[in-house]
A and B are shown apart, each in its own frame.
Chain A
Amino acid sequence: MIAGYLIIGLFILGIWGMVKKDNLIKKVIALNIFNSSIVIFFIYLGSRTGSTAPIMERGIKDIVDPLPQALMLTAIVIGISLTALALSFIIKIYRRHKTLSIYKIQKKSEHE
């Protein structure tokens, strides 16, 4: 049960970080935390459907549902490519504005 609370904690932590953090990189980290919380949630729910790994040999019974793991693998890959793209944008923005604070960047780009 405690796992469930921890996952909810991660979910809220991710959203809080995206809303509240001023630093662009911290925002991306928060996005990753948010995504991970959903991934872990699905894996956690999937893991409770059985007790053994889904390697189908003779005599294996009570396997966990393999589908959540397959789906979440895809979601993780997408998350990685999103992070890479976001960080490359941040590099470009940093080279131009010499700061990572979204507040300062927005103020500067309004005056252009």
Chain B
Amino acid sequence: MNNLVILIVIIPLIASFFCLIDKYIPHLQLAQIVSIGATLICMALLAVLFPPIFRGDVVSYSVGGWKEPLGISLHMDGFAWISSCMSMVVALFALIFAWAEKEHGNLFYFVFLIFIAGMQGVTLTGDIFNMFVFFEIFSIASYILIAYEGKTKSILASFNYLLISSLGMGFFLLGIVILYQHTGVLSLNDIANLMSKAGNSDFTLNLALICFVVGIGIKAAFIPLHIWLPDAHAFAPHPVSAILSGIAIKVSFLAIWRIILLFQAFDIEHIFLWVGAFTAFLGVIWAVAQVDSKKLLAYHSISQIGFIVVSFGVGRPLALDASYYHLLNHAFFKSLLFLCIGSVIYATGQRHIHKLGALRKKMPTVFFSFLVGMLAICGIPPFDGYASKALISISLNKHPVVYFFIFLSSIITVTSFLKLSGIFTGKPNKEKTSFISYKIPAKMRLSLVALSIICLATGIAPHFWIRTLDTFVTGRKLDIIPTVYSLHQLVATLLMVGLGFALYLFIRSSPGKKTLRFIRGFRLGLNNSILLVVVTFLIFILLSWIVAKGFVQF
């Protein structure tokens, strides 16, 4: 049983070797079959691990037979199990989509599998240096995947991501240095034991924590560490955008989550409350201004991460569950939306929102999948986004100002998706498009439909899901679960849709268009974004120093 844990990391790595052989065996499509087979095997292993995890056990594997203080262990608890499942499901459908595209060679699948292995490693590892190594594995794989198509824009985006994220990983390494010098331990369990004995009053340990949070925070992309994200996600190949947006930022955020709970740094959680509110609000403002359909979705990833971070910042068990629920839902509906837009671009070769239109009749499957994703991200019942957004607003009942920001962002979310849905409902394109067949391969349709069904399934019984997440994530701490379908929430949703529609009418008018153009023109270059990362690091240190000295009480 214990060996199964490491197999989840190793099987994708073994399979990636077969992808390299694929070149010598033509017409077999070995790379595609092996990579999909590897994810399926990993899912089967996760299913085998389900009963002990559900009982609340932790399945551990010590690498090389060396026990914890000396060696490295992998731990599979409920938290890691559900994250692992989420990434496997999204990766599977992204792989099927990539197979349907038929544009990628065997090297694509090779790097893709290494990417999956790295992500599984980050979720499972019980050692902070090992986490650093897995982070670098999956980031290097993601740089290659973003630049895979070889377009200059995607290479430039990937290069920017590489520089900024390597700077972040340098901070992470610095954190490891400080932690090891100060305590002499690297394993997460030992840190937790130390913290429960000593408490986290020590400023040096807080410094290490800030290094970890800022270092991984660049990959989790909350504002102000987000600047690399829109270009990288927008110019990547479509299945890669889906996994980057769907799981890569989630896995990074979950690593932050684990580290913060480990350090018992509840002061920092309050900083996250405000960081999240601004992330949700600013992200969606930039999203609504975009005219590139994939860039719009990429900015929405930032905004939705803001929702997740806000709820995490509240810190009560219900809020944590709501945060994880939204994270899970966002993984599914955002990858669905990226794949929908991806198949539109695949069929028409056009990514500008205003140059597409009236695709509803021509691509009905894509339209309905898009509709599911859109209603989910806007938070319309009975889709999954509604349930998690309602739970987030319930958990924010003691923070009215933050709730106001979150509500505003939900309104603008509705507006921006009305704008994006113009590619299906609006007027047909004036340019000659008769040579386009509008047909997409069956495998593409399969992955769209399957992800839509998952979006429906996770939304249909919120009570059941929140109870399950409570078991896995926080360890059965909830006594009462508030009803999601209360009158208050439904009225708020109605108000949100109405205001969103009104705002949509505004952005169609000429002053609205001018405003959007102004927002779109606001760009930070690479130099400024690196500076921003460094400044954020210093500000976080200052904040934690102020909190540690007790100048400000949260």
Chain B, interface SS category: helix
CB pair A109–B159 under 8 Å, yes or no, is no
CB pair A71–B156 under 8 Å, yes or no, is no
What chain A residues lie within 8 Å of B156 (beta carbons)?
93, 105-106, 109
Instruction: Count chain B residues whose beta carbon lies closer than 8 angstroms to a beta carbon of A.
Output: 33
Residue A85 CB within 8 A of the other chain = yes
Instruction: Count chain A residues whose beta carbon lies closer than 8 angstroms to a beta carbon of B.
Output: 39
A101 and B144 CA atoms in complex are apart in Å by 22
What chain B residues lie within 8 Å of A39 (beta carbons)?
173
A41 and B211 CA atoms in complex are apart in Å by 15
Within A33-47, which residues are at the interface with B (CB < 8 Å)? 34-35, 38-39, 41-42, 45
What chain B residues lie within 8 Å of A78 (beta carbons)?
133, 136, 140
CB pair B162–A82 under 8 Å, yes or no, is yes
A18 and B176 CA atoms in complex are apart in Å by 22
Residue B257 CB within 8 A of the other chain = no
A81 and B169 CA atoms in complex are apart in Å by 14
B138-180 CB mask vs A (1 if < 8 Å, else 0) is 0010011001001011011011001100110010011011001
Known: A38-B177, A78-B133, A96-B152. Contact between A90 and B531, CB under 8 A?
no
What chain A residues lie within 8 Å of B177 (beta carbons)?
38, 41-42, 45
Chain A, interface SS category: helix
A111 and B406 CA atoms in complex are apart in Å by 35
Known: A20-B527, A103-B525. Contact between A86 and B162, CB under 8 A?
yes
Q: How far is the CB of B288 from chain A (nearest CB, A)?
A: 20
Within B481-524, which residues are at the interface with A (CB < 8 Å)? 523
Known: A38-B174, A96-B152. Contact between A31 and B133, CB under 8 A?
no
Residue B375 CB within 8 A of the other chain = no
CB pair B173–A75 under 8 Å, yes or no, is yes
CB pair A74–B133 under 8 Å, yes or no, is yes
- Which A residues form the contact surface with B (CB < 8 A)? 15, 18-20, 22, 24, 27-28, 31, 34-35, 38-39, 41-42, 45, 67-68, 71, 74-75, 78, 81-82, 85-86, 89-90, 92-93, 96-97, 102-103, 105-106, 109-110, 112
Known: A42-B177, A102-B526. Contact between A82 and B140, CB under 8 A?
yes
Given A78-B140, A106-B525, 13 extra CB contacts under 8 A:
A18-B530, A19-B534, A20-B527, A35-B170, A75-B173, A82-B136, A85-B162, A86-B159, A86-B162, A86-B163, A89-B155, A92-B147, A109-B153
Instruction: Pick from B129, B155, B163: contact of A92, CB below 8 A.
Output: B155
CB pair A85–B144 under 8 Å, yes or no, is yes
CB pair A18–B163 under 8 Å, yes or no, is yes
Instruction: Pick from A74, A92, A106: contact of B150, CB below 8 A.
Output: A92
Residue B181 CB within 8 A of the other chain = yes
A81 and B166 CA atoms in complex are apart in Å by 12
B528 to A, closest residue via Cβ = A19
A105 and B531 CA atoms in complex are apart in Å by 19
Show 24 residue pairs from A and B whose CB-CB distance is below 8 angstroms, ordered by the A residue. A18-B163, A18-B167, A18-B530, A22-B527, A24-B159, A27-B163, A31-B163, A35-B166, A38-B174, A38-B177, A41-B174, A41-B177, A42-B177, A68-B180, A75-B173, A82-B162, A86-B159, A89-B147, A93-B156, A102-B527, A109-B152, A109-B153, A109-B156, A110-B523
